[in-house]
Amino acid sequence: MVDTALERLEAALAKLESERYELTLFVSGASASSERAIRNAKAVCDLHLGGRHDLRIVDVNQEPDLIRGSRVLATPTLVKEIPAPERMLVGDLSDRERVLLALDVRVVEKPSAEAA
């Protein structure tokens, strides 16, 4: 049986759709950008990861030891640890399309009622 590139790609995408995500959001206090980042990260997880995620929120003011080995230089920063590759997104995560692309989350468009 010969695997084509398309078959391998489709298999990899199917695996991603069932894979669990481990995410850490580093924030700094109760700033407006921290609050937006928390709200946006939770929305992405709830809407697009369907319970297949662990989202840990770390306030670097409360837990400074957790940022030391992380390579995080600014807050807010979302770190995707699993699935590979690791990715880091800096900012309030308000550009949903860019966040989904960086996290390798495939969005399946639902057909609109008008298209039927």
pLDDT in tens, 42-59: 999 999 998 899 999 999
| pTM of the full structure | 0.79
Mean pLDDT of the chain: 87
Residue 7: pLDDT band by 50, 70, 90 thresholds?
confident
Helix (H) or strand (E) holding 44: helix 32-48
Confidence check: pLDDT of 116 > 50: no
**Arithmetic mean of pLDDT, 55-65:** 94
**Arithmetic mean of pLDDT, 31-49:** 95
Residue 33 buriedness (CB in 10 A; 0-12 / 13-18 / 19+): middle
Please give the CATH number for the structural domain made up of 20-106: 3.40.30.10
Query: Where along the chain do its domains lie?
Result: 20-106
pLDDT at site 113: 56
Is residue 40 a contact partner of residue 89, using CB atoms and an 8 Å limit?
no
